[in-house]
Amino acid sequence: MNIITTIQEMKETVAKLKKDGNTIGFVPTMGYLHEGHRKLMAEARQENDVVVASIFVNPLQFGPNEDYDRYPRDEDHDQKAIKEEKVDILFYPHVNEMYPKEQTIQMIVQRRVNVLCGKSREGHFDGVVTVLTKLFNIVHPDRIYFGMKDAQQVAVVDALLEDYNFSITLRPVDTVREADGLAKSSRNVNLSSQERKEAPNIYQALETGKKLVEQGEMDPEVVIEEVSRFIREHTHGKIDYVDCLSYPELEKVETINRQMILAVAVQFEHARLIDNIVFSSNGQPSTAIV
Contact 154, 171 (CB under 8 A): no
Q: Is 86 annotated as a binding residue?
A: no
CA distance 124 to 144: 20
Catalytic-role residue among 37, 77, 124, 270? 37
E strands, the chain, are: 2-4, 24-29, 50-55, 89-91, 143-147, 169-173, 238-246, 260-267, 272-279
Q: Is 283 annotated as a binding residue?
A: no
Q: Is 176 annotated as a binding residue?
A: yes
Q: Is 246 annotated as a binding residue?
A: no
Q: Is 148 annotated as a binding residue?
A: yes
| 94 among known catalytic residues | no
Q: Is 216 annotated as a binding residue?
A: no
- How many whole angstroms from its chain centre is CA 79? 21
Burial class (CB in 10 A: 0-12, 13-18, 19+), 54: buried
Q: Is 9 annotated as a binding residue?
A: no
Q: Is 221 annotated as a binding residue?
A: no
Instruction: List the one residue out of 248, 247, 251, 240 whose CA is nearest residue 274.
Output: 240
Q: Is 73 annotated as a binding residue?
A: no
Q: Is 30 annotated as a binding residue?
A: yes
Name the H helices within 93-140: 95-98, 124-139
Q: Is 118 annotated as a binding residue?
A: no
Q: Is 147 annotated as a binding residue?
A: yes
CA distance 69 to 62: 10
Instruction: List the one residue out of 221, 289, 224 whose CA is nearest residue 258.
Output: 289
Q: Is 236 annotated as a binding residue?
A: no
Q: Is 32 annotated as a binding residue?
A: yes
CA distance 266 to 72: 22
Cα dihedral: 178, 180, 183, 185 (round 10): -50
Burial class (CB in 10 A: 0-12, 13-18, 19+), 100: exposed
Largest Cα–Cα distance in the chain? Answer: 59
Q: Is 37 annotated as a binding residue?
A: yes
Q: Is 60 annotated as a binding residue?
A: no
DSSP3 helix / strand / coil % (the chain, rounded to 5): 45, 20, 40
- Pick out the residues of the known binding site for (R)-pantoate: 61, 153
Binding positions for ATP? 30-37, 147-150, 176, 184-187
Binding residues for beta-alanine: 61
* Residue ranges at the known binding site: 30-37, 61, 147-150, 153, 176, 184-187
Query: What are the catalytic residues?
Result: 37
